[in-house]
Amino acid sequence: MSKLLPVALVQHSNSTDLAHNFAKTQDGIRKAAAQGAKLVVLQELHRSLYFCQTEDTERFDLAETIPGPTSDSLGLLAKELNVVIVSSIFEKRATGLYHNTAVVLDSDGTIAGKYRKMHIPDDPGFYEKFYFTPGDLGFTPIQTSIGKLGVLVCWDQWFPEAARLMAMAGAEILIYPTAIGWDTTDDIDEQTRQCDAWVISQRAHAVANGVPVISCNRVGHESDPSGHSEGILFWGNSFIAGPQGEILAHASAKDDEILTAILDLKRSEDTRRIWPYLRDRRIDHYQDLLKIYRD
């Protein structure tokens, strides 16, 4: 028998107006729920601009506690609409200690759990190591009223180890709140290669683990406050894929969208029966995976 789960993600552009951004997010959640979604996934750091383009201590003012204003508001909304919400918050754990954290609000409004981003990038335009301490909660799925969610964040999406560990711990869906885009000086061929690699990598996680994937990115151009670059053009292309990597829904590169699909979670078991990757893993020969590199 099928186990159907209507899901949605909210892809949108952001501005310097935090209240406007959050209102847009909440409106997207309401529209998704009105379309029948029982799980709604938000993009990475959906409350603000992507502030990591520069290193600026004033940006720490954006951080908040969990529980805190954003999680409280979304908890009330989750309860009102009877949906599970995956949010992304700049978490202030203590003075001088901050994380890039995904928090899951269950359909009764409570915090089901959180995940602190484990892989932290440090590249031109993505200076996240200045802001975020690497996560310390490990790769543990979050139990909710609709099932076990394997929540990861953005840069985590390039690491098959993270997806595998979530799946091995029983995650029924892999979820990636994301903020990724192009350097505007890249030519169209390079832009295409980068976006294709991003989609392919995450679809591969679905295939290799036999579970659906939900990836939610933002859209729009955000300028570099320092003026050292032309900023980032976030490429959207949010998508929902099934357990064989098949695309169930795919958003545009430019527009605000509420993307919906119906996941049949029973298909994960059917898929794993005919593609038994977990059965055939040779863990007795994987010790070198614990090394940075084999010299």
Q: Is residue 282 domain-resident?
A: no
- Residue 67's domain comprises 4-277
Q: What is the CA radius of gyration of the chain?
A: 18
Catalytic residue among 44, 172, 222, 257: 44
Q: Is residue 290 domain-resident?
A: no
Catalytic residue among 154, 172, 195, 257: 154
Catalytic residue among 24, 38, 92, 117: 117
Q: Is residue 173 domain-resident?
A: yes
pLDDT, tens only, 234-250? 999 999 999 999 999 99
Q: Is residue 78 domain-resident?
A: yes
Residue 254 among the catalytic residues: no
CB hemisphere CA count around 250 (13 angstroms) = 14
Residue 117 among the catalytic residues: yes
Q: Is residue 118 domain-resident?
A: yes
The span from the CA of 44 to the CA of 50, in Å, is 9
Residue 154 among the catalytic residues: yes
CATH number of the domain where residue 156 is located: 3.60.110.10
pLDDT, tens only, 186-229? 999 999 999 999 999 999 999 999 999 999 999 999 999 988 89
Q: What percent of the chain has pLDDT over 90?
A: 97
What value, to the nearest 5°, has the Cα angle with vertex 165 and ends 287 and 97?
Answer: 105
The span from the CA of 79 to the CA of 102, in Å, is 18
The residues facing 97 across adjacent strands are: 94
0.75 exceeded by pTM:
yes
pLDDT, tens only, 258-292? 999 999 999 999 999 999 999 999 999 999 999 99
If one counts the domains in the chain, the total is: 1
